[in-house]
Amino acid sequence: MDPNNLLNLAGYAIYGAIAAVALYGVFTVILLTRRIAQKRFRNDAVAGEFLEEVRHNLQSKDYDGVVELCDSPAYWAKATPQLMLVGLENRDLPTLKLRRMLGEKFEHDVLADLEYRTSWVATIVKSAPMLGLLGTVVGMINAFAKIAGATEGIDPSEMATDISFALITTALGLSIALPLVLMGNMLHVRIGKMQDSVQQDLGEFLEDLATATGSSRGK
């Protein structure tokens, strides 16, 4: 195959790869944003209302009522209610051991999945500029190949095409990476806030559960 044709095909492939990386990056960010929204309460007022209803049921020792509430459509996908179900199933354990169990389950079932997906955002942030740099190299190779193979004057428009390709791919790679850096940091902040809220809500739940069972659960 003619090297020039091969380089031209490489140029199209680079454009395609950059487009694919950009689309997957946006898809991952949207997916993560929705997943975090599903796992956390919309605001503190909603969380407080839920915890108050759970507290009322626990004071009445209505454990089935708590289970029914946590499994209701409004709460079944959220992290705190699902962890509460695990806590109710293991309510005979001491509080410290139960708290550790719920923390490990939260990290394994919720945080691990989110961190796995955010790692793809970080990978795209690193890959997009590298694809742009590859386009730069291909464009400059094309330009120098035309110079080396010229027997007469070189058409400036042909040189401009190769150089513009080199610069455009670099710009595209940076244009993808920069917004994803900001979005990735935004996702990390949301995950951190979700983690803090879940830990706080579970702390209140465990205190109410210890009161309901009437045992010295800290030992």
For 43-55, how does the pLDDT look when each residue is reduced to its tens digit (9 = 90+)? 989 999 999 999 9
Mean pLDDT over 90-95 rounds to: 90
Q: What is the mean pLDDT of the chain?
A: 88
Number of domains in the chain: 1
Q: Supply φ then ψ for residue 94, to 5 degrees.
A: -60, 155
Token digits for 193? 């806030």
Q: Could you report the per-residue pLDDT of 100-115, keeping only the tens digit for each?
A: 999 999 999 999 989 9
**pLDDT tens-digit profile of 190-215?**
999 999 999 999 999 999 999 888 75
Domain coverage including residue 88: 3-213
Domain membership flag for residue 164: yes
Does residue 218 lie in a domain region?
A: no
| Distance separating alpha carbons of residues 100 and 132, to the nearest angstrom | 46
Burial of 9 (0-12, 13-18, 19+ CB in 10 A): exposed
Percent of the chain at pLDDT above 90?
68
In a domain, 219, yes or no: no
Average of per-residue pLDDT across 61-66: 92
How far apart are the C-alpha atoms of 100 and 36, rounded to whole Å? Answer: 22
What is the predicted pLDDT for the residue at 159? 76
Question: Does residue 182 sit within a domain?
Answer: yes
Whether 180 maps to a domain, the answer reads yes
pTM: 0.81
